[in-house]
Structure 1
């Protein structure tokens, strides 16, 4: 067992930040059950390394990086391709949104690294450099992945039959 102070610090942090981690995980994977699994793995890794994580200046950044790496590692395995998650009930929060304007579906259609770049840049409000650090890549790669992701989102969310001048 760890020292009581360590466990209390970890518990306080996770109690306060769990909803935020779950939202970020959901934006990455587009499934609440899978998001819970990602957060559970992240929580375990944070606990194991809490001495290091608890001593950094930006614990949220550390936790977000762990979550992102867990997500990307899972994307590289075949597990998520073999398992089909079927939701019995529709998500009623967006049930009345037009089908051609479903941002969640458009986000889910992005490749994992583009999705991660868009979520980190625009939901987590990270700079290009912070996103590059979290994704363990160059700033140029972040800019490229973000640009491609935004272009794909624009195409997916463009109303049917609308053309842009010059095309």
Structure 2
């Protein structure tokens, strides 16, 4: 739709958000396909995140990091995160997926015009070389963001451990 438009999806097939494993109180609920014994990966093994009831949590983890990545690489700070559930809600592909759509200043404001958000007139073409460079830039920025987050988490865990041990460590 625009330069930097990114899709975020689950590894296992889920038609709607409510089918995500781990989406309910306490997590670990099984989606329809699992209860009925269907929808396994090609190799017959359940996806580790789904089996552990972490699909919803994982999406919540990745969406902010990916939105930050898209904004950094495109230089566009305004964006939509869109997710549709069912045909009447404009879901065309029957699989849970989120769109992160940068809204550059060159596009008209969508204020009070949400019905035009996905109109054909809003789309931009991207050639293969530009797309490859954009994807490489996103991977680089995302790698830095994840490593930085892991460093912060490690420092926080070390501080908590020192507190528990009375400052000795």
What TM-score bracket applies, with the shorter chain setting the length?
under 0.3
- TM-score, normalising length: structure 1: 0.27
- The structure carrying a bigger strand percent of its residues is 2
Higher alpha-carbon Rg = 2
Q: Which has the higher contact order (CA 8 A, sep 6+)?
A: 2
- The structure carrying a bigger helix percent of its residues is 1
- TM-score, normalising length: structure 2: 0.27
